[in-house]
């Protein structure tokens, strides 16, 4: 179905609502024509709003909000390196204080439970900023920390930060020897068994673990121990016959090895780790486009004698400054990473599906920028796929070492919606992206995010790895996006696509939903998988599709929207339950529309909820965190999700599913 536009090139309809004009014009459940009209009005306003946010270079980027550990650890890094200044400290403290709850604690996501390690790190950061232990907000925090067991109950990463200043003993942390760098990829536990985010963090931490530095603490933290005279109560050993017990005892052996490790071998290992780190520094000075590896890499290299004026250190520190988002009130929030490629491809899909002409200048500019971001050199993924030609896209501005399968699939889908003045250039880029993604399929027929077959059972069992996912096994959402990409490129009959479809069908929960690894949660998984299966030729009448439709209808909120709380990752009773949000309502609506349910009561109510929840400027408010870095442990509020996904859903509600414009264009892969 071809969309029409007005003379400005915007999706057809009346002009944008004036500021202050109400956008929720009717309740759900009326005439279908009325629903279509208000959906079109909302779609038009949303498209105008999104177009206004495009950078002159062609990209989009929304803030990527996580939690205050990013800000606290940024201050601790600056304290460790001796470069902390009053301006940055006060701006960071302003943000951290603003995120504190009435009981003195901090959470890792909006409306989430108080979290011990986050609260400890935030407290220490505020102490660096000059807040006093007896200040009411600090006293409430320290009392809660002690009630939860104090510093001794925090995660390993928090205690590493404390050990850097003598607030915790290195002997009471899991050992991480730098000799790990020597273990070959075929060894049962080596650095390439870790997911890319964990790998980049662990390698520099092996140097830190070997060096065990301690900088003078600027103040004591006795108020955070349940018993300052006995701050480190011994932990119980698990049975030796268990995996946990085995790795606990292996860690004790590594602590003994630390005392007798040959100095020459250790020095060679640390230098090898340093070379590994430096080889992976990106053109912008960062590592992997994410903040944690950059922080630990800077500490590790500093410990090996790299001064702050060394180009590697200087550019690394400068890259961290680019993660800072300065608020109008003077607060400074640190992003864990930045998402321009992801945001841009999703914005292009949303605008195209909303009826923007395929040759609209905004889409062509975005395509030009994305084409310039395609990666042409091998990265760590080549360890498992040494003969595969590069061709993927990363998530961030600069991250050539770690392109990801999800971004590559969505960029290809986006490029396929643009009528570019140089179609051959686009075809070549798409062909390279297709070939790379096909080559990154895991043995089970599915796709992970960054690596193939990154599913070793051992890394998650290490005592060191007590926070979040450290491996990158295939997921339903990433696999669905690859299958959808293959279908739109005419490759739905390709053997690799059929294996992906079979794997997805086998992953459906008894409820009819699919688990969401990179978005919250079953709404994201289901909203990703159903459109992919339909695009790949699975009929809407297929039992798997009907079960998914029934599940979505069963979890729709009374207000017509959908929402799912992050607690669903831990509590099954929370699956599909939560306050309605714009992005999650859009995911549910996308699945229903793909399944042919446009005329259903559930789809109409969902479209009306989006229209009623829209703000006068065409945007949506969404304080809830609907993205994940690690399910439950590290949550993300992508500030552009609230815009691109509702626009995509409303566009498809108004114009129908996007045409298979490129179907049949590819004969192989």
Domain CATH number, residue 497: 1.50.10.20
Is 8 inside a domain boundary? no
Integer Cα distance of 526 and 429 in angstroms: 29
516-556 per-position pLDDT tens digit: 999 999 999 999 999 999 999 999 999 999 999 999 999 99
In-domain check, residue 356: yes
Q: What is the mean pLDDT of residues 37-41?
A: 95
Please say whether the beta carbons of 418 and 426 come within 8 A.
Answer: yes
Final residue of a structural domain among 334, 368, 402: 334
Summarised one tens digit per residue, pLDDT across range 486-517 is 999 999 999 999 999 999 999 999 999 999 99
Rounded to an integer, what distance in angstroms lies between the CA atom of residue 200 and that of residue 282?
13
Domain boundary among 334, 358, 389: 334
- Does 7 reside within a domain? no
Per-residue pLDDT band at 201 (split at 50, 70, 90): very high
Residues 569-602 have pLDDT tens digits of 999 999 999 999 999 999 999 999 999 999 999 9
At 311-360, the pLDDT tens digits run 999 999 999 999 999 999 999 999 999 999 999 999 999 999 999 999 99
Indicate whether 626 belongs to any domain.
yes
Q: Do 312 and 281 form a contact (C-beta atoms < 8 A)?
A: yes
Confidence of residue 24 (pLDDT cuts 50, 70, 90): very low
Domain that holds residue 424: 32-62+339-454+476-655
Mean pLDDT of the chain: 91
Span of 234-243, 297-306, 538-547, 548-557 with lowest mean pLDDT: 234-243
Tell whether 259 and 397 lie within a shared domain: no
Is 664 within a domain?
no
Instruction: State residue 457's pLDDT score.
Output: 87
> Which is nearest to 505 in space by CA: 538, 549, 527?
538
Helices vs strands, H then E, count in the chain: 22, 5
Q: Are 325 and 301 within one domain?
A: yes
Note the Cα 310 to chain centre separation in Å.
31
Higher pLDDT, 3 or 447: 447
The domain tally of the chain equals 2
- 187 and 298 share a domain? yes
Distance, in Å, from the CA atom of 192 to the CA atom of 285, rounded to the nearest integer, reads 23
pLDDT of residue 668: 38
Q: Are residues 142 and 50 in the same domain?
A: no
What is the four-CA torsion angle of 122, 125, 129, 131, rounded to 10 degrees?
A: 50
pLDDT-based confidence at 253, cuts 50/70/90?
confident
Extract the tokens encoding 390: 């590069």
**Do 486 and 606 sit in the same domain of this protein?**
yes
Residue ending a domain, among 302, 334, 366, is 334
Written as six digits, the tokens of 78 are 């600056």
| 383 plus 443 within the same structural domain | yes
**Res 663 pLDDT > 70:** no
pLDDT band per the 50, 70, 90 thresholds, residue 9? very low
Which positions ≥6 away from 38 have C-beta within 8 Å?
25, 26, 607, 608, 611
In the prediction, which pLDDT does 667 show? 38
Domain check: are 637 and 501 in the same one?
Answer: yes
308 and 427 co-located in one domain = no
Say yes or no to pLDDT of 483 above 50.
Answer: yes
Please tell me whether residues 605 and 496 are part of one structural domain: yes
Residue-level pLDDT at 150:
96
Q: How far apart are CA 272 and CA 179, in angstroms?
A: 9
6 lies in a domain? no
Q: What pLDDT does residue 382 have?
A: 97
Residue 472: beta bridge partners? 454
Residue 5 pLDDT exceeds 50: no
DSSP labels, 537-568: T--TTSHHHHHHHHHHHHT--TTS-----GGG
Q: Which residue has the higher pLDDT, 12 or 277?
A: 277
662: in domain: no
Position 188 scores a pLDDT of: 87
Q: Which of the residue ranges 233-242, 282-291, 610-619 would you say has the lowest mean pLDDT?
A: 233-242
Residue 25 has pLDDT above 70, yes or no: no
Residues 285 and 382 in one domain: no
Query: How is residue 579 written in tokens?
Result: 């306050």
Supply the residues annotated as catalytic: 406
Confidence at residue 237, expressed as pLDDT on a 0 to 100 scale: 65
Which are the contacts of 184, defined by CB distance < 8 A and separation ≥ 6?
190
Q: Are residues 305 and 365 in the same domain?
A: no
Domain presence at residue 510: yes
Quote the pLDDT of residue 461: 80
The two tokens of residue 201 are 């963090």
């Amino acid at each position: 179905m071809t969309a029409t536009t007005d003379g400005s090139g915007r999706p057809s309809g009346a002009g944008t609502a004036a500021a202050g004009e109400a956008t929720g014009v009717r309740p759900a459940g009326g005439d279908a024509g009325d629903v279509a009209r208000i959906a079109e009005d909302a779609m038009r306003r949303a498209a105008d709003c999104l177009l206004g946010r495009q950078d002159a270079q062609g990209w989009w980027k929304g803030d990527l909000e996580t939690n205050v550990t990013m800000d606290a650890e940024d201050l601790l890094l600056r304290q460790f390196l001796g470069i902390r200044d009053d301006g940055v400290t006060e701006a960071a403290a302003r943000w951290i204080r603003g995120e504190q709850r009435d009981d003195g604690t901090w959470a890792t996501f909006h409306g989430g439970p108080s979290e011990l390690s986050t609260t400890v790190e935030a407290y220490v950061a505020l102490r660096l900023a000059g807040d006093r232990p007896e200040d009411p907000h600090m006293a409430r925090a320290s009392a809660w920390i002690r009630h939860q067991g104090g510093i001794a109950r925090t995660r390993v990463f928090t205690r590493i930060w404390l050990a850097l200043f003598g607030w915790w003993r290195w002997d009471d942390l899991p050992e991480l020897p730098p000799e790990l760098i020597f273990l070959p990829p075929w060894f049962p536990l080596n650095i390439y068994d870790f997911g890319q985010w964990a790998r980049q963090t662990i390698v520099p931490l092996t140097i830190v673990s070997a060096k065990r530095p301690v900088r003078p603490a600027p103040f004591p933290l006795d108020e955070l121990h349940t018993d300052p005279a006995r701050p480190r109560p011994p932990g119980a050993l698990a049975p030796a016959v268990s995996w946990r017990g085995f790795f606990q005892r292996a860690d004790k052996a590594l602590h003994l090895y630390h005392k007798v490790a040959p100095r020459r071998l250790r020095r060679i290992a640390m230098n090898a780790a340093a070379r590994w780190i430096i080889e992976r520094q990106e053109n912008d000075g960062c590592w992997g486009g994410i903040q944690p590896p950059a922080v630990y890499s800077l500490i590790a290299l500093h410990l090996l004698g790299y001064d702050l004026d060394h180009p590697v250190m200087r550019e690394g520190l400068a890259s961290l400054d680019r993660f800072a988002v300065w608020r109008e009130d003077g607060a400074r929030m640190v992003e864990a990473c930045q998402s321009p490629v992801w945001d841009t491809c999703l914005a292009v899909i949303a605008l195209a599906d909303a009826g923007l002409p395929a040759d609209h200048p905004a889409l062509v500019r975005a395509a030009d920028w994305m084409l310039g971001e395609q990666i042409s050199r091998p990265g760590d993924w080549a360890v498992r796929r040494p003969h595969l030609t590069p061709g993927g896209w990363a998530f961030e501005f600069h991250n050539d070492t770690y392109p990801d399968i999800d971004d590559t699939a969505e960029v290809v889908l986006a490029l396929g919606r643009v009528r570019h003045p140089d179609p051959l250039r686009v075809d070549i880029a798409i062909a390279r992206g297709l070939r790379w993604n096909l080559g990154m399929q895991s043995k089970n027929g599915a796709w992970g995010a960054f690596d193939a077959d990154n599913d070793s059972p051992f890394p998650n069992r290490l005592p060191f790895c007590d926070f979040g996912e450290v491996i990158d096994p295939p997921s339903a959402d990433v696999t669905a996006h690859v299958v959808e990409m293959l279908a739109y490129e005419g490759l739905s009959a390709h053997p690799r696509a059929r294996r992906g479809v079979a794997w997805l069908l086998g992953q459906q929960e008894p409820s009819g939903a699919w688990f969401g690894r990179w978005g919250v949660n079953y709404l994201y998984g289901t909203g990703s998988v159903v459109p992919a299966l339909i695009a790949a030729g699975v009929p809407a009448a297929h039992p798997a599709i009907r079960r998914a439709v029934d599940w979505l209808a069963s979890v729709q909120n009374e207000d017509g929207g959908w929402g799912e709380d992050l607690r669903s990752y831990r509590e099954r009773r929370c699956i599909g339950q939560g306050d309605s949000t714009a992005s999650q309502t859009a995911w549910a609506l996308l699945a229903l529309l793909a399944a042919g349910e446009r005329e259903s009561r559930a789809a109409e109510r969902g479209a009306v909820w989006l229209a009623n929840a829209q703000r006068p400027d065409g945007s949506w408010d969404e304080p809830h965190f609907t993205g994940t870095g690690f399910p439950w442990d590290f949550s993300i509020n992508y500030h552009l999700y609230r815009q691109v996904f509702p626009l995509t859903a409303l566009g498809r509600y108004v114009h129908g599913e996007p045409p298979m414009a490129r179907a049949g264009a590819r004969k192989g892969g």
